[in-house]
Structure 1
């Protein structure tokens, strides 16, 4: 699993012109799933995200997690994170999981993340054409690949 984490002061996702998910201060997560991903990737990544200390403390040092600040999460599925650009100019998405595998993994990730965050999260819709808006706070953007956890 690959996740792009963006610290935001606000973020939202629209589908067919209607707001599907909206948050204030917190994290926008863009999640890519591949066939090699397993439950342990979900669990590790979820714990890493909720404990990642990227919010400022009273001294403006990034020393607080989303749990510490009571922030919100907006999760968006994004298969293009697994794009291969080695050959030519047209990305290949062969590494990205097909919906029959990816949808259940995405749903398990939502469930695990909500449990670790100890409250519901906002989401987009898997496979939908989504319009994502955000105000990146910092800016702070971090990329984590669960295959690089060791």
Structure 2
């Protein structure tokens, strides 16, 4: 499982021209799943995401989490986080989890985020072409990963 975190001043996601989710100050999360990902990974990365200290204090040190600053969260499913570009010129997505299974894990991730952060989570829509708008803060981007184990 991979979560690409972008610290933002604002972000929104639209489907077919209709805005379906938006946030102010907080984090935009792009979320991808691979084979053998499980609920344990979902729970662990949800907790890590909201508790990761990605916001600066008065001295500019990264000391505050999403919870600390009351940050909002927009979670967007993105299977392309598991693209392989090792061969040829076309990305290969065979490492991405099948859509039906990934959709289920995405829903569980959003539920876990909501539970840990104790606030509503804005989301993109699984399996659709989305338009994402954001105003980066920094920019500051971090990749969290929990690779599956056998």
Give the Cα separation in 2 of the matches to 1:37 and 1:121.
Answer: 22
SS state at 2:59 partner: coil
Detail structure 1 runs of 4+ shifted over 3 Å in the superposition: none
Is contact 1:27-1:71 (8 Å) kept?
yes
- Which residue of the partner structure matches residue 134 of structure 2? 134
Is contact 1:55-1:62 (8 Å) kept?
yes
Give the gaps of 5 or more residues in structure 2.
none
Report the Cα offset of residue 57 of structure 1.
Answer: 1.3
Report the Cα offset of residue 85 of structure 1.
Answer: 0.7
Equivalences for residues 68-147 of structure 1 within 5 A: 68-147=68-147
- Which residue of the partner structure matches residue 25 of structure 1? 25
Give the Cα separation in 2 of the matches to 1:35 and 1:86.
Answer: 19
Q: How many residues in Structure 1 have an aligned counterpart in Structure 2? A: 149
| Superposed CA RMSD | 1.3
Report the Cα offset of residue 59 of structure 1.
Answer: 2.0
- Which residue of the partner structure matches residue 58 of structure 2? 58
Report the Cα offset of residue 36 of structure 1.
Answer: 1.3
Residues 58-114 of structure 1 show CA distances to partners (whole Å, capped at 9, x for unaligned) of 222211000000010000000000001111000110010112211111111110010
What TM-score comes out, normalization by structure 1 length?
0.96
What TM-score comes out, normalization by structure 2 length?
0.96
Is contact 1:7-1:27 (8 Å) kept?
yes
Give the gaps of 5 or more residues in structure 1.
none
Report the Cα offset of residue 126 of structure 1.
Answer: 0.2
- Which residue of the partner structure matches residue 46 of structure 1? 46
